[in-house]
Amino acid sequence: MDRASNKQLATLPIEFKLNGRTVVGRPDEPIIETARRHGVEIPHLCYSPELRPDGNCRACVVEIKGERVLAPACCRFPTQGMEVTTDSDRTRTSQKMVLELLLSDMGEQRHTKHNEVDVWAQKLELGLPRFPARLQPAMDLSHPAMAVNLDACIQCTRCVRACREEQVNDVIGYAFRGEDSKIVFDMDDPIQVYLRTVAAVPPLTKDREIELSRHVLANDSQAENAGRELVESNLAMVVSIAVRYGGRGVHTLDLIQRGNDGLLSALQTLSEHPNESFSDYAAACVESAIASASAHRK
């Protein structure tokens, strides 16, 4: 007879005790899930069945007979004969303390109402938090597509895991240490944020570019908006030229800045080149500004 593989063994049912009752679980199913199947709710915040368990919030701790410290039920798996208690005084005190500390940090505001911490706090009949709040990170408005009230963030890292492991898109991260720790986007690096912003602007069609240039040359009522659209749709071009001149002693951010100056001067002098395509003329101005900055490095 073939020997069962570890994978097959992990799916074989086992029996363990949950709050004194014998239940059937599996070695590859976390205690929190077996408990849920048997009608026992364990508080949890950082756990989501769709994501890899991280065990960082400790709201789900349970007592395991014979073990000195409480174990997180979201990333602890049962073994045959294990005895687990989810609702003893010790576990409830610990679960409530986690919730109370998080509630203390989360001042009541419109955007913090009806959150998951409140839901669990009510279920565990927790009163008002007793502790002073930590200084919360400021709201992150660094990108047009992202606006996050970081004072409502409990740093459960569910967004980080969803972004990294499900979307395979490392935009969201967790950075810094201790009380400075916070969720960050694009590694909190302004150049990454800037690059994403300019890359998101679609290029102009030739017809649209001609139409916008006409408004600028006529200096009519739409000239200002047309000029802005011409500039914004060429910011990615500036970056691509700046990157080509990188590594020659001038920081890429400085080269981008000089290139953007060249782009603006192209717009201001467009009337001197009425028969040229704006993007061609602007590219020449941008390259000249960047080449000059690169040549005059200190």
Contact residues: ligand FES, CB under 6 A: 44-47, 55-60, 72, 74
Amino acid at 292: S
The rounded distance, in Å, linking the Cα atoms of 19 and 157 is: 30
Q: Which is nearer to ligand SF4, 60 or 183 (CB)?
A: 183
Shortest separation between residue 183's beta carbon and ligand SF4, angstroms: 5
Q: Is 33 left (phi over 0), alpha (psi -120 to 50) or beta?
A: alpha
Residues 173-192 as x/- pattern, contact with ligand SF4 by CB under 6 A: ----------x---------
* Positions in 157-176 near ligand SF4 (CB under 6 A): 157-159
Shortest separation between residue 285's beta carbon and ligand SF4, angstroms: 42
**154 touches, from ligand SF4, ligand FES, none (C-beta below 5 to 8 Å by class):** ligand SF4
Q: Which is nearer to ligand FES, 47 or 245 (CB)?
A: 47
The rounded distance, in Å, linking the Cα atoms of 178 and 270 is: 53
Are 185 and 193 in contact by the 8 Å Cβ rule? The answer is yes
Q: Which is nearer to ligand FES, 62 or 195 (CB)?
A: 62
The rounded distance, in Å, linking the Cα atoms of 78 and 84 is: 9
**157 touches, from ligand SF4, ligand FES, none (C-beta below 5 to 8 Å by class):** ligand SF4
Count interface residues toward ligand SF4 (CB under 6 A): 8
Shortest separation between residue 59's beta carbon and ligand FES, angstroms: 5
Q: Which is nearer to ligand FES, 74 or 171 (CB)?
A: 74
Say which residues have a Cβ less than 8 Å from residue 69's Cβ, sequence separation at least 6. none
By CB under 6 A, residue 86 contacts ligand SF4: no
DSSP assignment string, 164-209: IIIS--TTEEEES-GGG-EEEEGGG-HHHHHHHHHHTSPPPPHHHH
**44 touches, from ligand SF4, ligand FES, none (C-beta below 5 to 8 Å by class):** ligand FES
Q: Which is nearer to ligand SF4, 158 or 215 (CB)?
A: 158
Which of 88, 101, 51, 91 has the alpha carbon at shortest distance from 71?
A: 91
Say which residues have a Cβ less than 8 Å from residue 247's Cβ, sequence separation at least 6. none
**18 touches, from ligand FES, ligand SF4, none (C-beta below 5 to 8 Å by class):** none
Span near ligand SF4 by CB under 6 A; candidates 7-15, 121-129, 155-163, 208-216: 155-163
Amino acid at 52: R
Q: Which is nearer to ligand SF4, 40 or 59 (CB)?
A: 59
What are 253's two structure tokens?
């951010």
Are 100 and 45 in contact by the 8 Å Cβ rule? The answer is no
The residues of the shown chain that bind ligand SF4, judged by CB under 6 A, are: 153-159, 183
